[in-house]
Amino acid sequence: MELNKDNIKKIILILAAAFLMLWAVINYQKVFTFLNYLLILLNPLIIGAAIAFILNVCVRSIENRLFRPLDKHLGRIWARVRRFISILLAIAFVLGVIVIITTMIVPEVKNAGNMLITEFPSYWSNLQNVINDLTSRFNLEEIVLPSLDINDENISEMLKNLIHSDMTNKIFNTALDMTTSVIGVTASVISVVFNSVMGIVFAIYILFRKEILAKQAKQIVYAYLPRKAADEALYIARLSNTMFSKFVTGQCTEAVIIGLLCFLGMTIFKMPYAPMISVLVGFTALIPVFGAFIGTAIGAFLILMVSPIKALWFIIFIIVLQQVEGDLIYPKVVGSSIGLPGIWVMLAVIVGGSVNGVLGMLVSVPISAVLYCLIGRSAKGRLEKRNITIDNL
């Protein structure tokens, strides 16, 4: 290789990169600390980008399907305010869904909790009767539960014993520790609120200027990467945007379907709280495959306060519905929309959930779809270079 100016510059860059990588491996703890600090600083921007991406699905639908016919009849002023109105409508839609779900669920959960506290002694007595019946029927040793009578006198007596017990000092020390923890939790809540508010601000700005930001990003990619690498990077970016958008749309469609099926089944079996629990199950179904079980726990608790037998039937019904949703609805609705076979959807959800919980489940499916398309594209190109076709194989 001729040692001209360009080659010397490349050698220096390669040596510098190798030295930097070696230093990063040796000082990996400092590198991770710095990256963690950088992520904390960029949290509002990351949250804003995620919110903007989700809202963009609604904004794009409003602009293309609702406002497109108006573009021909209105002038330049409409072209300037159309994006602003679309963003407001998208935010209002999302907030409206959250408010409706909250107002439907929270009061019922509160009422069920109050009912549980009021009726708990009778439940306890009924449990003792069931145990007595089982022990007498199967000739088992009798099990006696402690008597439970909740009233003001018992509560006062319990408080007096607690004050004069040896546990008081330990409880006091524990209270101090809990105070410290509460202060830390309060600081965390304030940080979350601040990051969320700033994230919404960033999201609105990104949605307003998304075409300009995309153009600037494209210029940077082509300025600092070789042409072939830049083309490949933009192809992956477009593919990722398409897959994630289709995933959000398919996930929302699947949540509506599972909510309607839940409402239909609960109505047929005459279960209480059918509208509210169906909305809850549909909302939690936004978590891929396993999300409906979260709504099942709350729904079963609410029905339990009315009829334990119906609560048991509700759990069985949701298990059956979840099997239908996991085996048929989800792979067909979400899997087909992103071009990912059902078996790989299930695998992606399981792996993503084990790696990072609910967030891993949400992100793993579109990421797997992108990798599936890239691997298929790469394999097809290699087969074409070797003049190999499926028929030959």
- Percent of the chain whose predicted confidence (pLDDT) is above 90: 3
Taking the CB of residue 50, how many other CB atoms lie within 10 A of it? 13
**Residue 360 contacts by C-beta under 8 Å, 6 or more apart in sequence?**
351, 352, 353, 354
Nearest one of 151, 129, 132, 133 to 143, comparing CA atoms? 132
55-66 CB burial, b ≥16 within 10 A, e <16:
bbbbbeebbeee
Q: Residue 285: helix, strand or coil by DSSP?
A: coil
Task: Return phi, psi of residue 150, to 5°.
Answer: -95, 115
Residues 119-169 have pLDDT tens digits of 667 766 766 676 777 677 666 555 555 554 545 455 455 555 555 555 555
Sorting pLDDT into bands at 50, 70 and 90, what band is 219?
very high
Residue whose C-alpha is closest to residue 370's, from 209, 243, 278, 207: 243
Q: What is the per-residue pLDDT across 49-74, written as a single tens digit (0 to 9) for each?
A: 888 888 888 888 888 887 777 767 66
* Lowest-pLDDT range of 145-149, 219-223, 326-330, 381-385: 145-149
Q: How far is CA 120 from CA 112, 123, 328, in A?
A: 12, 5, 41
Q: State the pLDDT at residue 168.
A: 53
Full DSSP string of 190-207: HHHHHHHHHHHHHHHHHH
Residue 180 scores a pLDDT above 90: no
Residues near 283 by beta carbon (within 8 Å), at least 6 away in sequence:
97, 101, 255, 259, 295
pLDDT at 48 over 60: yes
DSSP-based three-state secondary structure for 139: coil
Nearest to 81 by CA among 67, 95, 96: 67
CB 298 within 8 A of CB 354: no
Predicted confidence (pLDDT) at residue 29 exceeds the cutoff of 50: yes
Q: What is the mean pLDDT of residues 293-302?
A: 81
Contact 90, 58 (CB under 8 A): yes
pLDDT band at 218 (very low <50, low <70, confident <90, very high): very high
- Tens of pLDDT along 76-87? 677 678 888 888
Residue 210 clears pLDDT 80, i.e. is over it? yes
Scan for tokens 């990421």, then name that residue.
Answer: 367
Percentage of the chain modeled with pLDDT above 70: 74
pLDDT one-digit tens code per residue, 234-291: 998 898 888 888 888 888 888 888 888 888 998 998 888 888 888 888 888 777 666 6
Distance CA 331, CA 245 (A): 17
User: How many CB atoms are closer than 10 A to CB 52?
Assistant: 22
- Phi–psi pair at 189, nearest 5 degrees: -65, -45
Is 0.75 surpassed by the pTM of this model? no
pLDDT (tens digit, 9 = 90+) per residue, 102-122? 887 777 767 766 776 776 677
What pLDDT score was predicted for residue 157?
Answer: 56
